[in-house]
Amino acid sequence: IFFREMVQFLLPEKKKRKPIVLPPKKKNIKKYINGQRKESVKRKEALKRKEREDAAKEKEREAKEKEREAKEKEREDADRVHKKMKIEHRNPKLFLYNCPNGISDDVVKAYYVKQHQLGEGCIKSIKWMKNGEGKFIGSGFVVFTDIAQLEKAAALPGPKVEGATIETYSSADMDSVVNDVQGARQIYLWDLHPSTVETDLRRHYGQAKGFKRIKWLMNKTFDVFNGKAVVMFNDEKAAASALELGFPKISTMQSQGRIDIKQETDVREVFLKGCGKLTEQAVLEHYGKDAIASIKWLNDSHQGRCHVRFVSVQGFINACRESFWKMGGNRVEVLRARRSEAMSRQQSSTKK
């Protein structure tokens, strides 16, 4: 008994250990204790090894899941591009942009048929777009007989008219089709004045960094101007920076617009903090149905808290001008983290 007590006394006191119960007939006590310690270390190492293996398996599973999602998204994009390409190949077009008023069918035919000798029957038809007042809008397209002729024409520089080179864009260009599918690089405009022409929009967005071209949204036959257009940019950042220029005002008519950018924090969203009586109908009546894109309630609509996303930046700025508004005697607060920044941009643009 005395010997066992001495063994416990001599053990280090850093870690509390259970009393050692020695088996009978053990002569080498020190060797037995060291063996027990080694076994404990081995068990701990095995446990850590298992944890590492489980973590590695979890990471591998997450990587496979991300890869699967990426492939699925890539497949969806490819399907959309293929569908658009299939439609465009039926009617191969070469679009002409930034055209002066001196351009005509004879100029285009002389350039592609006579000067570059693509063949007499290579051009099927030529269409010039017109605005709501029947004037030339500054764009058009040439319909070729087949894709081979279109590819030859797209490889050539645009014709020169009145000292300016016409910008061309092929409907069969894969890169262009992919860019058109990605809406985050585009600013959509509507409520354009009937007298709008391409030079008006180029004057407003032409100096923006990354500006690419202007696409007019008309009917299938390109005969009716509905006051809509798309301003295309090279990337998402260029489109976002161009959005700060606002939307053009043509002939005392203010146009509207929007942009599709995937961001965690939307620059067109405010947070409303009101009473339990706040309803979606009250929000729509206060801001207008056309100005609101979506309303998301926080947990429960009876709490009177929601996120309101506006269609345009102008609507967001107008909402930020008031810190609160009243609904039947109850106060509804308008909160936004970047409200002062948005207001300063609006004031600076107004001064300019």
pLDDT tens column, 253-292 = 888 888 754 433 345 778 888 877 788 888 898 898 888 8
- Rounded to the nearest 5 degrees, what angle is found at the Cα of 161, between the Cα atoms of 159 and 165? 55
Most confident of 6-15, 34-43, 148-157: 148-157
In a domain, 179, yes or no: no
| Residue range 308-330: mean pLDDT, rounded | 80
| Residue range 299-328: mean pLDDT, rounded | 76
* Helix residue ranges per DSSP H, the chain: 2-10, 29-90, 105-109, 147-155, 174-181, 198-205, 236-243, 280-287, 313-320, 339-351
* Furthest CA-CA distance within the chain: 119
User: Could you tell me if 320 and 298 are in contact, meaning their C-beta atoms sit under 8 angstroms apart?
Assistant: no
59 and 16 within one domain: yes
| Cα torsion through 80, 82, 84, 87, rounded to 10 | -140
Residue 343 clears pLDDT 70, i.e. is over it: no
| Residue range 139-153: mean pLDDT, rounded | 87
19: confidence class by pLDDT, cuts 50, 70, 90: low
68 and 21 within one domain: yes
| DSSP run (H or E) holding 252 | none
Compute the 3-state secondary structure of the chain and give helix, strand, coil in percent, each to the nearest 5.
45, 25, 30
The residue assigned the tokens 């446990």 is 47
**In the structure encoding, which two tokens stand for residue 201, read together?**
């929009």
CATH classification at residue 151 = 3.30.70.330
104 and 58 within one domain: no
95 and 84 within one domain: no
CA distance 298 to 269: 14
Poorest-pLDDT segment among 65-74, 137-146, 176-185, 338-347: 338-347
| Residue range 190-196: mean pLDDT, rounded | 90
Poorest-pLDDT segment among 29-33, 52-56, 180-184, 189-193: 180-184
In a domain, 177, yes or no: no
Supply the pLDDT for residue 306: 84
Please choose, from the candidates 118, 88, 94, the residue with its C-alpha nearest in 3D space to the C-alpha of residue 167: 94
Supply the pLDDT for residue 175: 47
| Cα torsion through 199, 200, 205, 210, rounded to 10 | -20
338: confidence class by pLDDT, cuts 50, 70, 90: very low
| DSSP run (H or E) holding 136 | strand 136-144
84 and 95 within one domain: no
**In the structure encoding, which two tokens stand for residue 153, read together?**
């024409």
Poorest-pLDDT segment among 212-216, 296-300, 345-349: 345-349
206 and 277 within one domain: no
128: confidence class by pLDDT, cuts 50, 70, 90: very high
CA distance 44 to 215: 67
174: confidence class by pLDDT, cuts 50, 70, 90: very low
Q: What is the mean pLDDT of the chain?
A: 78
43: confidence class by pLDDT, cuts 50, 70, 90: confident
Supply the pLDDT for residue 17: 56
124 vs 224, more confident: 124
83 and 2 within one domain: yes
207 and 153 within one domain: no
Residue 352 clears pLDDT 70, i.e. is over it: no
In a domain, 118, yes or no: yes
In a domain, 40, yes or no: yes
Supply the pLDDT for residue 337: 38
Total domains, the chain: 4
**By residue range, what is the domain housing residue 136?**
91-172
CA distance 210 to 307: 32
Q: Report CA-CA distances (Å) from 339 to 96, 204, 247, 316, 317.
A: 42, 26, 20, 9, 8
Judge if pTM exceeds 0.75: no
Task: Specify the pairing of strand 249-250 against strand 186-190.
Answer: unpaired
Residue 183 clears pLDDT 60, i.e. is over it: no
Q: Final residue of a domain: which of 73, 88, 103?
A: 88
Supply the pLDDT for residue 126: 92
84 and 5 within one domain: yes
48 and 120 within one domain: no
